[in-house]
């Protein structure tokens, strides 16, 4: 079955760039059938969609993060990545990667999700 | 942006009893072009990622027990667990995908 696994530093200093990678197994991210997404969850809080990337490399971001988020895809490794610049304490969260189902050229719902990775922002 | 508001924040239900979770959107997520409600429900157990239960407001995912049911239209939606089981203890989230994706704040379901 499809599995996703996040990886990356668990600690990032304020003002620096957060970098995470999601490795996908059981599905080809270049197939174009799904939209590959990042979602985050601050401790004790709800979920926030960050953005999505297609197998073609096309991206779309939440408007509130658009200026700081960059997503990319590496089809040779079946991975996609997130970079979030100029992080602050407000960016501390569990970051999930997920496979998104598309309808009408937009990502809609997510299944499955990775286990998540905790990112702390501290000097 | 569409704001999703869930109620209650938490509820405690006896085993075998019904649990009802509400989700209200700040604007309609019913599409006039295809008559679909652009709403999903997720279950998140402690220490686990969210799991998709329902999309299109009432379409259950494969493998999801039929005690989970979604209903509603427009701005008001409900997730019902018809007979609560111990393994249903979790936080439940609604999510709209009509416009820029957004999630509700979650409802924690516990055993009474």
Query: Mean pLDDT per segment of 10 residues, for chain A of length 123 residues?
Result: 96 98 95 92 93 92 95 96 97 97 91 98 96
pLDDT at B95: 98
- 């197998």: which residue's tokens? A55
What is the phi/psi pair of residue B90, to 5°?
-175, 175
> How many Å lie between the alpha carbon of B50 and the closest alpha carbon of chain A?
7
Among A109, A112, A116, select the one facing B95 at the smallest CB separation: A109
Could you tell me if A25 and A78 are in contact, meaning their C-beta atoms sit under 8 angstroms apart?
Answer: yes
**In a 3-state reduction of DSSP, which class is residue A71?**
strand
pLDDT at B35: 96
B84-111 per-position pLDDT tens digit: 999 999 999 999 999 999 999 999 999 9
Interface test with B, best of A43, A105, A110, A118 (most B CBs within 10 A): A110
Average pLDDT, chain B: 97
CA distance B107 to B11: 8
**What number of C-beta contacts closer than 8 Å exist between A and B?**
52
pLDDT at B62: 96
pLDDT at A104: 85
pLDDT at A47: 95
Could you tell me if A80 and A5 are in contact, meaning their C-beta atoms sit under 8 angstroms apart?
Answer: no
Chain A residues with CB under 8 Å of B40 CB are 108-109
pLDDT at B77: 98
Provide mean pLDDT across the span B36-55.
Answer: 97
Q: Do B106 and A46 touch (CB under 8 A)?
A: yes
């Amino acid at each position: 079955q499809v599995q996703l696994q996040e990886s990356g530093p668990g600690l990032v200093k304020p003002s620096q760039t957060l970098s995470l990678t999601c490795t996908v197994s059981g599905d080809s991210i270049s197939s174009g059938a799904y939209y590959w997404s990042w979602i985050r969850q601050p401790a004790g809080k709800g979920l926030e969609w960050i953005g999505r990337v297609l197998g073609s490399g096309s991206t779309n971001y939440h408007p509130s993060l658009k200026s700081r988020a960059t997503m990319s895809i590496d089809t040779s490794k079946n991975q996609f990545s997130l970079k979030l610049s100029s992080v602050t304490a407000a960016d501390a969260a569990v970051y999930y990667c997920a496979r998104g189902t598309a309808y009408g050229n937009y990502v809609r719902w997510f299944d499955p999700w990775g286990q998540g990775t905790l990112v702390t922002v501290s000097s | 942006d569409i704001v999703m508001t869930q109620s209650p924040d938490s509820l405690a239900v006896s085993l075998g009893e019904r649990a009802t979770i509400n989700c209200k959107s700040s604007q309609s997520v019913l599409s006039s072009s295809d008559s679909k409600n652009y709403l999903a429900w997720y279950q998140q157990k402690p220490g686990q990622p969210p799991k998709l239960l329902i999309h299109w407001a009432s379409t259950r995912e494969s493998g999801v027990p039929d005690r989970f049911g979604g209903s509603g239209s427009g701005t008001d939606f409900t997730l019902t667990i018809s007979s609560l089981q111990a393994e249903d203890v979790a936080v439940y989230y609604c999510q709209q995908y009509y416009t820029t994706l957004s999630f509700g704040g979650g409802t924690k379901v516990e055993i009474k």
